A = this chain, B = another copy of it.
Amino acid sequence: MAATGAASTDVENREWYVASYAPTGVPNSEHIKLRTVSLSLRADSIPDGHVTFQVLYVSIDPYVRTQLSGLDDGLSLPQIPLGQVIRAFGIGKVIQSKDAKFSEGDIVLSRICPVSEFGVMPSNLLQKITPAIGIALPDYLSCLGMPGITAWVGIEKIGNAKAGLNVYISAAAGGVGIIAGQLAKVKGCRVVGSVGSDDKVKLLKEECGYDDAFNYRVETDYDAALTKYFPNGIDVYFDNVGGKMLEAVLNHVNHGARIALCGMISEYNKVWTEREGVRNLLNMVGKEVMMKGFMVGSYYNHFEEFIKEMEVYLKEGKINSKHKIYNGIGSFLESLASLFSSSNVGKVILQVTP
């Protein structure tokens, strides 16, 4: 096994770093680059309380793009310093450990895993995973991971989605949206999603239990589309895109509607003054609408409650996990750019080690 063999030697470790910031547009190979660094995995070169691991999977999420703009943005996440390795949620397998709580072969999760082939990290930044029977490792980066709890917070904690309510999800085939809609279905809601391709419409309706779905690239008059798909108005909106879609939704909200603002993928590649203005916020007054932005990190104290609920849904097959896997460390840039092209279905994951 390669990982074990590596434990007694140095490795050539490939890692992605920030070469220059991308204030607008989709980051490309001028902005983030792959380099090879020599990393010693010899036992005597690892500090106490540290663990070395081989990276298995990295989660590819839109927030990472917002850390590459070199600007203050609405997510208030720190920018990754120039020259430094990019970090993301990731899963690894322990090669060796200088902490008694971790052993060779353990599977570990980190929220700031380097996007690289190998990592050395303080053990207190790692969490051990014991995969439940019937649950695949990538699920711990999707349904049971950050996208899963993000969907859960928006649908349950902010949206307060209840049986019979009309729920709308934008970017509904994305890593978060695909879970959010299925969660709302479990709660007994009527759920409609918008997506960027006809294939995704089909997927949501046929495999994810959505009541309906539409392609926003075909039905470009959002107002007309929402009139058609929500004859009884919208009670809960899980917003992943912002801009013109959020504005259209505000023309279709019911009294007392809740809007969970999760992130706005339509807006990440623009500076804020160039973003789409929402002109009808006055509708929030007459309809007494509540809108709340959230960062999932503020809800990690609910993680156990979330996992308990979600594991049941997964095991009972009530929630269907969908992954788009990119293979090899070299595919990171392509996988990140794919988030902005509507080319994926489900959670985007980079499989670093085959």
Contacts and interface: CB of A to CB of B under 8 A. Distances in A.
Chain A contact surface mostly: loop
A285 B277 CA distance: 16
Nearest to A266: B282
Contacts of A277: 247, 276-279
A281 interface: yes
Contacts of A288: 292-295, 298
A73 to B, nearest CB: 7
Given A290-B292, A293-B289, A280 B275 contact: yes
Given A277-B278, A292-B290, A75 B272 contact: no
Contact of A74 (B75, B77, B283): B283
A263 interface: yes
B279 A273 contact: yes
A262 B277 CA distance: 20
B242 A261 contact: no
A304 to B, nearest CB: 21
Interface in A195-248: 242, 246-247
A99 to B, nearest CB: 33
A73 B286 CA distance: 8
A181 to B, nearest CB: 20
A104 interface: no
A88 interface: no
Contacts of A281: 74, 242, 246, 261, 264, 278, 293
Nearest to A256: B298
A294 B261 CA distance: 19
Interface string A167-190: 000000000000000000000000
Given A275-B280, A276-B279, A290 B291 contact: yes
A291 B289 CA distance: 8
Contact of A284 (B279, B280, B291): B291
A73 B282 CA distance: 8
A35 interface: no
Contacts of A284: 74, 261, 291-293
A86 to B, nearest CB: 19
A267 interface: yes
B298 A294 contact: no
A132 B351 CA distance: 74
Nearest to A267: B282
Contact of A282 (B264, B282, B298): B264
Contacts of A74: 280-287
A261 B280 contact: no
Contacts of A75: 282, 285-286
21 contacts: A74-B280, A74-B285, A75-B286, A76-B286, A242-B282, A246-B281, A247-B277, A264-B281, A264-B282, A264-B285, A274-B279, A276-B277, A278-B281, A283-B293, A284-B291, A284-B292, A285-B295, A287-B293, A288-B292, A288-B295, A290-B293
Interface of A: 73-77, 242, 246-247, 261-264, 267, 272-295, 298
Given A74-B286, A76-B283, A261-B282, 6 more contacts: A74-B280, A74-B283, A77-B286, A261-B285, A276-B277, A285-B293
Q: Lowest 5 A-B CB distances belong to which pairs? A: A277-B277, A74-B282, A76-B286, A284-B293, A285-B293
